[in-house]
Structure 1
Amino acid sequence: MLVALTTAATAAAVAIGASASAVSVQHAGLVGQDPVNWTPHALDGTAFKILAIGSRIYVGGSFTQIRPSNSSTVTTQRRLFAFNATTGAIDTTFKPVVDGTVRTLVAAPDGQSLYIGGDFTNVNGVRSRGVERISATTGASVSGFTVPEINGGVDELKLTGNRLLLGGRFQTVGGASRRGLAAVNAATGAADASVNLNLDGARTTASGATSAVKVTGMDVTPDGSKLVIMGNFSSVAGQTRHQIAVVSLATSPATLTAWTTTRYQQQCSNSFPTYMRAVEISADGTWFVAVTTGAKRTGSLCDTAARWDLVSQVANKQPVWANYTGGDTLLSVAVAGAAVYVGGHQRWLDNPNGSDSAGPGAVPAEGLGAINPVTGKAFTWNPGKDRGVGTEDIYPTTAGLWIASDTDTVHGEFHGRIAFFPLPAK
């Protein structure tokens, strides 16, 4: 167990800024496998998302109780809290009141506030369906920001220029049809009609399982020119797109690009109309990694992490590489320089020949794993984590790597829903 960060890492953590929401911090090497012991704990529910702004870390989820690492005192703080990025001390001045699960967080351009998204209907006693902007210091709602009525959950937020992009399970925004994908003005919250791609064609499995059209993951290139979306749809803007599409944000309105693949057309598990779970674009904007659930199916991309080229916008793309878990779900991904980190409730990576078992060459990666971004082969990095439903978020900072999940054991130690892996001292 690591007692404290190194001096260099501590200084780096303090310098964490509110960078563009589409860009992950890049590391020159792998983070350590032993998490620090000063992070606070969420004691119930799930931690879904982590965000760094200045010297604070913010955590959103479905939890209701938290406590410091060095105390047995339990505090009721529902669904969103903040703490010091280098000491873990819980910030008692940050006290938002949110009446439903917080699933996504994005720093606002001013560096003094953040956007939250999720399943809530009221924030700080005022109706706010699914999206709100709050003070990064107190958690109070920011005046002048009001979104239209959103008729379903918001699972993803991405900020690009003056647009706040929304992805999730909603079907309308302000009474207008916006199935799974929409935009609002980042300053006012007013509906932005420039993102209207008409997602359609909800998938149905052979057993009849289906759901409404939705976006389960999305990311924006660092230059803000392209948006990758994934989820339960079969067409976008009237054109066939099997669970994944690339949108040009350089045009107004936004338009569908020619990028296509049929590799996610195949059905996976009868339980999952869509098996797409998360996506992250590289820091140079030229490629991305998508992770999936879905169960073992030969020739499919079920239960994989796959790297895709984003430079050529053409049809019938094939992955640069695909790493198979052997039948276990992946829920989260972070493209962090030296490694692509993936999380879920997987037991192995490099396991194309395993089926709920370790096949030849399988690399242990319980709940967390790291993949070489060039070769697609797993590193032996394996902190060892209770699997549970899975690791919901992986968030790199200049000091190391944060994770959020629904379990409380990492590296054989108690870490309630949150853990931090520091970069090695130089």
Structure 2
Amino acid sequence: MSSLKGKIAATAFTALAVFAQGIAAAPAARADIQHSRVVSENPVDNTPHVLDGTVRGIAVVGNKVIVGGDFSKIQNAATGSPVIEQNHLFAYDKTTGLIEQNFKPQIVFKPETPPTIYAVAPGPDNTVFIGGRFETINGTTTKRLARLNVSTGAVDTRFNRSTIDFGVITSLVSRGGFLYASGEFGTITDTVTNEHRSNLARLDPNTGAVDPAFNIIASDKRRQAAQLNVRNMAVDQAHTKLLINGTFTKVNGESRPQIAVIDLASTPTLSSWATDDYSGECHPDYHTYMRDMDFSPDGSYFVVVTTGGPGYGITRLCDTAARWETNRTGPRQSPTWVNYTGGDTLLSVAVTGPAVYVGGHHRWLDNPQGYNSAGPGAVERPGIGAIHPETGKAKDIAWNPTRSLGVGVEAFVAVPEGLIVGSDTDQLGREYHGRIGMFPLN
């Protein structure tokens, strides 16, 4: 365990340094699928390998899995398969695991910025949305947000009504006939109506037109050095609630430190749901310690995971997974349960019914007394784990496949066949799986 502690200390420092410089990855964990049981600890053998960089976003369109990130080399799983030079984005067949040869978009990024696809979401008519800080795709100018044909990788030029002046898209959600886009960007502007929004917008998924009925404004960043952003989002399956988190402290002029709930009625409005439990400080270098969020398949609750650094005690929600009930209203909300890592980061969460899956570079769960160590009652769950949705305890689910730690799991997507996992390391379930793998349900 001493070598493991050394590795995690290094990766925690690296992750902190990256975030302090700007946008960190925004994972895309969306678990609309209700599973009947916990997935297997043994990953399937046919998923392809990503040989460098990090997988940061995953979307499933039909039988195709589209994978985005900051990688440059991929490879089919069969022994002896050639290495394929392909940057930032690729697709593979969910059943066979084979990489799609016709999906090879050529993406050019803004100079002197991280060449990364941060967000991937399914689109209509066999398309996929991608978000990042890019400038052109296949020679077509399409800054920071684009829709691509899944079969060919071509830019779908029908999605052309909006332009983004500067910044980055970090989160995309397709739901209810809309595309929700968020991040750290100046303005996204409808070129026909001149309707514009900053950091958070709702778009027509067919044309890209900005929806004028959606006017939710996040403001008042937590720290002077921070950039205002809406880092991550989640929408329930019924399309009644939108969750947002980021560096803001107010939404539509009301106090909402780092997290808010939006009611998605005919005219979306800020919900009265509010909590001060994320107003406390964690490590001073984190402009926001919020990371991923996900609703349960039935929408009755949601789970939020955070980073933050060791040593902040159990009075703050640093380095935790916390369950919140969706139907509650009013201020001063408190979580139903909190699971502490003891000072290690959680980056991603997926809720499938029988389990709340969490991923990061944590070593333990059930560890409220830990201080970068295993406290009383802690259970080892290196890099990935499952929490019982009712008790809030990892000890109540024996699932412990393990993964090599690195910075952590950046993407979860639940599918009927199981749970797809994207990260920055190559050991998953005690086997070699280069940065992507799937735990089967059966």
TM over 0.5: same fold? yes
CA shift, 1:54, in A, is 2.0
Hey, what's the Cα distance between the residues in 2 that align with 1:285 and 1:411?
Answer: 29
1:342 matched to which residue of 2? 358
2:415 matched to which residue of 1? 397
Q: Which residue of the other structure, out of 79, 98, 104, is the alignment partner of 2:107?
A: 98
2:85 matched to which residue of 1? 76
Out of 259-268 and 92-101, give the one that drifted further: 92-101
1:18 matched to which residue of 2? none
The 5-angstrom pairing of residues 101-116 of structure 1 reads 101-110=116-125, 112-116=126-130
The 5-angstrom pairing of residues 172-251 of structure 1 reads 172-174=187-189, 178-204=197-223, 210-251=225-266
Hey, what's the Cα distance between the residues in 2 that align with 1:150 and 1:393?
Answer: 27
CA shift, 1:150, in A, is 4.2
1:23/1:222 contact within 8 Å kept:
no
Hey, what's the Cα distance between the residues in 1 that align with 2:414 and 2:164?
Answer: 33
For structure 2, the residue ranges without an aligned partner over 5 or more in a row are: 1-28, 109-114
1:179/1:213 contact within 8 Å kept:
no
For structure 1, the residue ranges without an aligned partner over 5 or more in a row are: 1-20
1:301 matched to which residue of 2? 317
CA shift, 1:22, in A, is 6.0
CA shift, 1:326, in A, is 0.4
The 5-angstrom pairing of residues 12-411 of structure 1 reads 24-70=32-78, 71-99=80-108, 100-110=115-125, 112-146=126-160, 147-174=162-189, 178-204=197-223, 210-252=225-267, 254-296=268-310, 297-298=312-313, 299-378=315-394, 379-411=397-429
Letter in 2 for 1:398: P
1:364/1:380 contact within 8 Å kept:
no
Q: In the superposition, relative to structure 1, how do residues 162 and 87 fare at CA in structure 2: closer, same or farther (>3 Å)?
A: closer
Q: In the superposition, relative to structure 1, how do residues 143 and 177 fare at CA in structure 2: closer, same or farther (>3 Å)?
A: closer
Q: Which runs of 4 or more aligned residues in structure 1 lie more than 4 Å from their structure 2 counterparts after TM superposition?
A: none
CA shift, 1:161, in A, is 2.9
Hey, what's the Cα distance between the residues in 2 that align with 1:52 and 1:163?
Answer: 17
What whole-Å deviation, never above 9, does each CA across 1:306-364 have from its counterpart, x for those lacking one? 00011022111000001000000011000011100000111111000001001111111
Hey, what's the Cα distance between the residues in 2 that align with 1:270 and 1:131?
Answer: 32
CA shift, 1:160, in A, is 2.6
TM-score, scaled to structure 1: 0.90
Letter in 1 for 2:263: S
2:5 matched to which residue of 1? none
Percent identical across equivalent pairs? 43
Out of 180-189 and 265-274, give the one that drifted further: 180-189
CA shift, 1:290, in A, is 0.4
2:441 matched to which residue of 1? 423
1:55/1:85 contact within 8 Å kept:
yes
1:171/1:177 contact within 8 Å kept:
no
Q: In the superposition, relative to structure 1, how do residues 417 and 235 fare at CA in structure 2: closer, same or farther (>3 Å)?
A: same
Hey, what's the Cα distance between the residues in 1 that align with 2:186 and 2:322?
Answer: 29
Letter in 1 for 2:391: T
2:111 matched to which residue of 1? none
Hey, what's the Cα distance between the residues in 2 that align with 1:362 and 1:216?
Answer: 30
CA shift, 1:23, in A, is 5.3
Letter in 2 for 1:347: R
Hey, what's the Cα distance between the residues in 2 that align with 1:387 and 1:239?
Answer: 39
Hey, what's the Cα distance between the residues in 1 that align with 2:165 and 2:407?
Answer: 27
Hey, what's the Cα distance between the residues in 1 that align with 2:33 and 2:351?
Answer: 8
What is the aligned-residue RMSD (CA, Å)? Answer: 1.6
Q: How many residues end up aligned between the 2 structures?
A: 398
